[in-house]
Each structure stands twice: as structure tokens, then as C-alpha cells.
Amino acid sequence: GEDVEQSLFLSVREGDSSVINCTYTDSSSTYLYWYKQEPGAGLQLLTYIFSNMDMKQDQRLTVLLNKKDKHLSLRIADTQTGDSAIYFCAESSDNYGQNFVFGPGTRLSVLP
Amino acid sequence: SQTIHQWPATLVQPVGSPLSLECTVEGTSNPNLYWYRQAAGRGLQLLFYSVGIGQISSEVPQNLSASRPQDRQFILSSKKLLLSDSGFYLCAWNSATGELFFGEGSRLTVL
């Protein structure tokens, strides 16, 4: 079946840029998402990108999609301590939630 | 605007006891609703989803069940909890444009 992979941990210094990477296997992925989960909380949708796009920028967040390599990345500029969280990559081939496939999440630690 | 709430936020239950987690959505009608489980250090596992009142689909065989008695209410239940049922349970709803929006989560510890 479809699979989404992410590295489990990432540490960066405050003020640096963070890059969280994700790879997926489903070639029919149409929608790709990034979610943020703060400790003890639910998942918050950060941003998403359609498969016909290469890049999407939203303030400090930049999403890059390499569809040929099935590689998605999330870059956070000027990383702050409040960015410490688990970041989940997810893909879906349609609009239906039951077809979402989530990665295991990357725990981002921001060091002072 | 749409909101989603689930409760209780934290629950500690003995093995063999029953479970009821509740989720409600406001500001939308006929949403698709989902129950996920997040085990420690792992990603999200879809447990159940519902496309309408009384319609439940189960993704994995397990000790849990789900019900949807009203359009915007989704309940996760168990008659007898197992140790392996411990985890963080998340309810979500699916917007018409495809995004999933999650509740705050319910942490269940079975002792």
C-alpha cells in the first residue's frame, strides 16, 4: 500500500532555518499536506500543496514538491522556540479523509 | 466558522472497564467524521470513519467500536478495555475542499 516516510527527529538553533523532509510512494497523490502537533494537542493544518505545483510560500513557511522523486519538504525560516512540535506529512489522492496517508511525524526541537 | 470538540481530554481507566469518547462538530452539516489513534512515537492510524448518521466503516479489526447517533456527533466506545487500547485518540472532520481538521485529542491510559 501507500507509504509516507519522514525522519523522526530534527534539531535546529533558534533563528536558523528548519527543513523537514518527506517522501511518499503513491504516484496518484493529488494533495500533500503539512500538519503541526504541539504537545498534548490535536493536529493543526499548516499548509497544503496540489501535485501540479512545485512550490508554495506562506509567510515563514515554504513547501517544495518534487513530484518526479515523490519528495516533499517544509522549510521554516527564522525558526522560533514556538515552532517546536511534531510535523506530519500527509498525502491523499482525493478529497476524502479516509484516503489520507500520514507519515510518522518529525519531532522538531528548537534550541536557544 | 467550524469547530470540533472532543472529550474527555484525559482518561485513566482500568483494564476491562468500558470506554466512551465523544466528538462533536459545529458549523457544518453532514460532515465526514473520523477517529484516529496515535500511539507513542508513531503516526496516525485510522480506526473508523462515517459519511452519515448510522454509517460506520472500520479500518482495522479491534476492541473498539464507533457510532454516529446524530449528524455532528461521533462516539468511540469499548465494552472492555485492553492495555493495548492506551493511546491518544483524535477525532477529525473532512471539509468539502479535502482538508482534515482535528479535535484537541483524548489521552487514554489503561492500567
The tens digit of pLDDT for each residue in B53-98 reads 999 999 887 789 999 999 999 999 999 999 999 999 999 999 877 8
For the cut 70, the answer to whether the pLDDT of residue A22 exceeds it is yes
- Average pLDDT of every residue of chain A: 93
- Nearest alpha carbon to residue A90 among A10, A39, A23: A23
Q: What is the pLDDT of residue A80?
A: 97
Q: Which of B36, B99, B101, B106 to mutate to test the interface with A (most CBs of A within 10 A)?
A: B99
In this prediction, residue B41 has a pLDDT band, given cuts at 50, 70 and 90, of: low
Report the residue of chain A nearest B89, measured CA to CA.
A42
Query: Is B46 in Cβ contact with A100 (below 8 Å)?
Result: yes
Chain centroid to CA A81: 18
Which residues of B are less than 8 Å from A33 in CB distance? 99-100
Q: What is the pLDDT of residue A98?
A: 85
Which residues of B are less than 8 Å from A44 in CB distance? 102
How far apart are the CA of B9 and the nearest CA of chain A, in angstroms? Answer: 9
Per-residue pLDDT reduced to its tens digit, A40-93: 899 999 999 998 999 999 999 999 999 999 999 999 999 999 999 999 999 998
